[in-house]
Amino acid sequence: MEFKNVANVKFVEGGVCAAKGFRANGIQCGLAHAGASVTKKKNDLALIVADTECTAAAVYTTNKVKGAPILVTKEHLKNGKARAVIVNSVNANTCNADGVEKANMMCELAAKELGISPEDVIVASTGVIGQVLPIEPIANGMKELAEGLTYDGNARALEAIMTTDTRKKEIAVEFEMGGKTCTMGGMLKGSGMIHPNMATTLTFITTDAAISEELVQLALSDVVKITLNRASVDGDTSTNDMVCVMASGSAGNKLVVNEDEDFGKFRNALYAIMMNLARMMARDGEGATKLIECSVSGADSDKTAETVAKSVICSSLFKAAMFGEDANWGRILCAVGYADADFDINKVDVKIGSEKGVIDVCKNGAGVDFSEEKAKEILSEEVIEIIISIGAGPGSAIAWGCDLTYDYVKINGDYRS
């Protein structure tokens, strides 16, 4: 699946190592589930480190149950500074009596190898909830992890954060700010337990742009609402969701401290990163075969449009129809109709589209004649567009989801094995 273009950015290689002064690594330290074969074992511990202190910001899950790493990271980021990220997969370190202790130990172990303060380390975990995190494999692997840090270690780090993910999700862009070429890169894990709510995933973003911690937080809190918070796989909001950004300033641009033109360029680059990661996450929903992009226009506000778009991508019946490549537009209109928003259903138009074309399936709240053969051809593609108009207002929004397949149940039926 290709990246979706955004004006004034250039896609480059390198993920979280694309920006100047960031190293990464990932290793297999031994956290793999008991009984997993050697061939199934993968990297399970990752480290991202900046050469210099960074301004940093994060957003977190809104689930009342929060993983211990989130509690620790929140404390560490109170000063808006960070230098490194340590993250493990396999075990979420959530709902454990010693969870905070273990999360702090991960920071201390990383800090000792890097020669920095534990308070400058962001910590994250993903995997099974409610199982005690064994710290010994992490402690035993930390030296190897730190010694293997390289400026092109992004792929190793990315593998280490994956759980049920089947596709690697990383991206990097170049953009101009203050007369300097800046770079921003990101990596994401997320395939199941994904629902529109703050963060919805583990995402780590690095940039060499110079910008204040207040504006990094402002940009992140703003952009997450129109990207990751509009992606859904299964209606479940995770306990460990986190998106963090570290900005090193190594690009040499003048520090951005006001909401000016340069801030707009930074926000635009962040949107390019997070929007494309959201699309990749939705496409890699557990068992998914299709990415569904639902755009809504003509609403009285962007919020109304967002509510309608989310309602459609979250409909299990609609998602199942997309898996079956069935142009059952009634399921779309049903999901539009129960959205918690005010609009005239008699003004709703619906189109379905893909690279194979676009056709009308509903006009003014009622069906229209269309070719079932053409509709089947359109829905056979990997990326499906649902285009909805609900009136003549200025509001619009896009949300991303995936189809619902047999494999989703298979994957989640034996997640712990």
**CA-CA distances (angstroms) from residue 344 to 179, 331, 337, 359, 389?**
48, 17, 9, 22, 11
Burial (0-12, 13-18, 19+ Cβ within 10 Å), 359: middle
Task: Determine whether 48 is exposed, middle or buried from the number of CB atoms within 10 Å of its CB (0-12, 13-18, 19+).
Answer: buried
Q: Tokens for 88? A: 């493990």
Q: Which residue of the set 61, 200, 201, 304 is catalytic?
A: 200
- Whole-angstrom distance, CA of residue 87 vs CA of residue 27: 11
Phi, psi dihedral angles at 237 (to 5 degrees):
-95, 125
Contact (CB, 8 A) for 299 and 249 = no
Q: How many beta carbons lie within 10 A of that of residue 354, not counting itself?
A: 17
Query: Checking DSSP bridges between strand 395-402 and strand 291-299, what pairing results, if any?
Result: antiparallel
Give the residue among 323, 322, 324, 378 at the shortest CA–CA distance from 353: 378
**What tokens appear for 287 in the block?**
């068992």
User: What element of type H or E holds 92?
Assistant: none
- At residue 176, the 3 state secondary structure works out as strand
Angle between helix 329-337 and 316-323 (nearest 10): 160
The total of other beta-carbon atoms located within 10 Å of residue 255's CB is 14
d(CA 68, CA 105) in angstroms, rounded, equals 12
Give CA–CA dist 163/357, Å, rounded.
35
Check if 200 is active-site: yes
Q: Which residue has the tokens 């990751």?
A: 228
Q: Select from 151, 81, 147, 145 the least CA-distant residue to 117.
A: 81
Q: What are the residues whose beta carbons fall under 8 Å from the beta carbon of 309, sequence distance 6 or more?
A: 230, 294, 295, 296, 388, 397, 398, 399
**Four-residue CA torsion sign, 298, 301, 307, 310:** positive
Q: What is the CA radius of gyration of the chain?
A: 22
Q: Which one-letter amino acid corresponds to residue 370?
A: F
Please, are residues 26 and 152 in contact by the beta-carbon 8 Å criterion?
A: no
| Residue numbers annotated as active site | 200
